[in-house]
Structure 1
């Protein structure tokens, strides 16, 4: 009896040890996330309000509201304060013209200024949209290069399980580390483009905490977390008030240490990994080596291109001049409209100002496509997509052709599987492929022809 109790106790202790080993990585990850200054599980009202006001739109969500009734993502909130000023100004000019002295200017000024304002706003908007489009193209290129690089590493880098079990396991874990670095590159680039220079972010720290980087060494855990913005500040930014805007580079300016270039440093670690698998001859195909190097160069191109967009805005002289010309046109509107519209000058001026100032505001909104604004690129979603695709690639071992070619589930042609076609001659197979072209050229006859030919092949009559 005591012996069975002892055995049962040992089994229980073994089971507890196994559960502890399984749960240990989760404990470690949670402790890492606690060390970062991230929002708590129950965010405050300010945080929820800030996310609603400034969080980029989720492209996967579908809204049934008509476009002209949508407020989130619209520049209408930014127009409230300017339009209030325009309404007061047009009311004053209209009242003076109606009751005191007619302040009338020739409509020729409206034509001349309208042409100049149209050119200026068109230049500003097209330049801003080009920057937005370039940013989107670079991130699409980053996704493509990440997929190609991960696929080449996972499929074409050999694992030496037959030679040595420990070497094979080491090769597998090294490949997994490389895929994590690919994900870390995208996330680090996202934070760099948002002027977040450190590594203490919940989505980044588990991937790069083991690397020796300038950004990791520059971060001081004793640094107090940033203060949560007040409701007044969030509303001010939502209304487009420049006095309420924070300096996006404040973290860069406060640091007294070299912050380095984290995405570039991650690329050097990836290059070191590629060099190691070439040296140990687990990646010795010259064609694949060239393609991997090309993918690394493509990632570096994405880094350089996005940095160019971020650090080279439209020259300040153009922005100031276009803004001044636009406001001169809006201020001059009631002087030119009153003689024809009288009291309708007030709503007419407001509508004209909304159109002109609104288009100019769109140019300012999309000039930097990498921030946290509603109309910025959804970089968080792009990074989650890359991470999910890395997990998909790593979820299975490199497939072997015999596992998906010679299987009975491989229906090659006319719903017949590999075994059925392997019993036929090459001439018969080629004749069947030729016959298929006649069917695909006539889609309306395809189901009947498929059924007929399938029965014929199964009866060996063809």
Structure 2
């Protein structure tokens, strides 16, 4: 996620130079043809076309931003649910400074930290193995890594350990139900994230805006050349670029977990969870992530 109000110009240029060059070349071709060949520019209702296209693109961008913001809200809920889970582990299980129960508390918290990092990797289509091995032993990690949904496998293992604690008399039915409720909330949040990741915008939302924008950019210099004359390449390129920029905004926001600079900052939020949960069990915690060249990952 870009965190500054003014992004780096090098990054902007890298994103726009290809369509900018293509637009300019086409505008020059139309302008030269108008002045040196028997060519008469037809009267085109560009204002009507542009207004309709702007409304279409605006509606699409609103839909894309809604997806991005829902992804951010779901991860905000994951942060809160993670803090609640750690608090329940520390306070609801019997208090002890060492022994089997102390190891269980620490194991449950570390498993959850591994879970959020693995979930981040799954959403970004990255290999989760390095992250799970940071917090779990190879023996503990073997079970989840054998599952298609590694994150869900971690939660299942955590639930099994809590059920075992209840069977041993360390939890009563009410406290066990409290843990189950929190883990249900966590999995509901995961399900919402997977829905966003696995359900793209409908094809009509992706294909037609792109098609209509490119058609408009092709028609734009033809409709402007009689008015702008030799200034057509500049005026038409700038106007067309604005429409292409609005189109690109929608593309950037459609997938909030795409592992790009426009992504929801999953690394930073997972680090927040890691810090809070490690401090809850008294372990040393890393520092919060800081923006890297104005991008918070």
What TM-score bracket applies, with the shorter chain setting the length? Answer: 0.7 to 0.9
Instruction: Quote the offset at 1:70 in angstroms.
Output: 2.5
Bigger Rg over Cα: 1
Query: TM-score with structure 2 length normalisation?
Result: 0.88
Query: TM-score with structure 1 length normalisation?
Result: 0.57
Residue of structure 1 equivalent to 2:132? 204
Counterparts of 1:52-201 in structure 2, within 5 Å, are 57=2, 67=6, 70-71=8-9, 75-108=12-45, 110-159=46-95, 169-199=99-129, 201=130
Among 259, 275, 279, the residue aligned to 1:392:
279
Instruction: Quote the offset at 1:212 in angstroms.
Output: 5.5
Quick one: distance in 2 between partners of 1:283 and 1:133?
38
CA RMSD of aligned residues (A): 2.1
Q: Of Structure 1 and Structure 2, which has the larger fraction of its residues in helix? A: 2
Change (3 A) 1:106 1:179: same
Instruction: Quote the offset at 1:198 in angstroms.
Output: 4.5
Offset from partner CA, 1:149-181 (integer Å, 9 cap, x none): 1101111210467xxxxxx51000000000011
Instruction: Quote the offset at 1:340 in angstroms.
Output: 1.1
Instruction: Quote the offset at 1:285 in angstroms.
Output: 6.7
Offset from partner CA, 1:338-372 (integer Å, 9 cap, x none): 11111121111111111100011011112111132
Offset from partner CA, 1:363-391 (integer Å, 9 cap, x none): 11121111321111121111111111111
Instruction: Quote the offset at 1:289 in angstroms.
Output: 3.5
Residue of structure 2 equivalent to 1:296? 183
Name stretches of at least 5 consecutive residues in structure 2 with no aligned partner. Answer: 284-297
Quick one: distance in 1 between partners of 2:161 and 2:40?
75
Residue of structure 2 equivalent to 1:282? 170
Residue of structure 1 equivalent to 2:217? 330
The list of structure 1 runs, each at least 4 consecutive aligned residues, that deviate by more than 6 angstroms after superposition, is none
Instruction: Quote the offset at 1:197 in angstroms.
Output: 4.4
Instruction: Report the secondary structure of 1:337's partner residue.
Output: helix
Is contact 2:81–2:185 with CA below 8 Å preserved after alignment? yes
Number of residue pairs the alignment of both structures matches: 282
Quick one: distance in 2 between partners of 1:329 and 1:130?
26
Quick one: distance in 2 between partners of 1:98 and 1:195?
53
